[in-house]
């Protein structure tokens, strides 16, 4: 496994796996007037429902992590710059071949750039966070639920940005 991850977290083995869907954005148009990029449509297979849209700017290398939602989907698109996302969840580790359970922490790291537009779909229950790896990075976020501003607790749970260690946020030499 990659040196990005610790071997264990709280006694559970860490394994890499696909937790989020990373979609190419086929509807990108450019002409002498500029560009138009469709990031999410109601007829996309990974769309559930609309709650709100917001844009986040992040200082270069500042980490925004981790939180998860119990019922909300997030769709993230980097519209300027580049970012690395780290996502994880506890996994029951069920192996249908042996019919045994080996609990683990499943992890995934995804790097995206505005120059090659993609949308990341984060389903409920997946811990997620991100860091910008270029100056002036902007993230467009579409959420399936509204964030409450009336004092109602939001649909989120939080944990420390370094709960999986700090290595997962570093750029790896290739």
We report the CATH number of the domain holding residue 97 as 2.60.120.10
Query: Does residue 78 form part of some domain?
Result: yes
Query: Does residue 166 form part of some domain?
Result: no
Contacts of 63 (CB under 8 A, 6+ apart): 129, 130, 131, 161, 169
Query: Does residue 164 form part of some domain?
Result: no
Q: Provide the phi-psi class of 104: left if phi over 0, else alpha when psi is between -120 and 50, else beta.
A: beta
Range of the domain at 88: 8-146
Query: Does residue 155 form part of some domain?
Result: no
Query: Does residue 55 form part of some domain?
Result: yes
- Rounded to whole angstroms, how far apart are CA atoms 90 and 37? 34
Q: Is the peptide bond before 66 cis (omega within 30 degrees of 0)?
A: yes
Query: Does residue 83 form part of some domain?
Result: yes
What b/e readout covers 19-46, taking b as 16+ CB neighbours within 10 angstroms?
Answer: bbeebeeeeeeeeeeeeeeebbeeeeee
Query: Does residue 168 form part of some domain?
Result: no
* Interstrand relation of 100-101 and 94-95 (parallel, antiparallel or unpaired): antiparallel
**DSSP SS3 for 69:** coil
Query: Does residue 174 form part of some domain?
Result: no
- Rounded to whole angstroms, how far apart are CA atoms 159 and 94? 25
The pair of three-digit structure tokens given for residue 151, joined into one six-digit string: 């004092």
When divided into structural domains, the chain yields a total of 1
The pLDDT assigned to 86 comes to 94
Rounded to two decimals, the pTM is 0.84
In tens digits, what is the pLDDT along the chain, a chain of 174 residues? 566 777 877 777 788 878 888 888 878 888 899 888 888 888 888 888 999 999 999 888 999 999 999 999 999 999 999 999 999 998 776 667 777 777 778 899 999 999 999 999 999 999 999 999 999 999 999 999 999 999 999 999 999 999 988 888 887 666
- Rounded to whole angstroms, how far apart are CA atoms 65 and 84? 11
């Amino acid at each position: 496994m990659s040196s990005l991850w610790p071997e264990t977290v709280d006694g559970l083995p860490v394994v890499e796996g696909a937790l989020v869907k990373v979609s190419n954005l086929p509807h990108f148009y450019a002409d002498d007037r500029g560009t138009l990029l469709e990031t999410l449509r109601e007829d996309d297979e990974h769309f559930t429902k609309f709650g709100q849209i917001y844009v986040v700017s992040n200082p270069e290398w500042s980490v925004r992590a981790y939180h998860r939602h119990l019922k909300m989907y997030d769709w993230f698109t980097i519209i300027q710059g580049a970012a690395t996302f780290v996502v994880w969840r506890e996994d029951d580790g069920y192996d249908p071949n042996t019919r045994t359970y080996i609990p683990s922490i499943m992890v995934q790291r995804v790097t995206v750039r505005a120059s090659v537009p993609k949308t990341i779909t984060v389903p409920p229950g997946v811990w997620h966070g991100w860091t910008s790896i270029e100056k002036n990075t902007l993230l467009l976020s579409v959420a399936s639920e509204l964030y409450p501003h009336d004092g109602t607790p939001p649909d989120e749970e939080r944990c420390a940005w370094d709960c999986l260690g700090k290595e997962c946020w570093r750029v790896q030499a290739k």
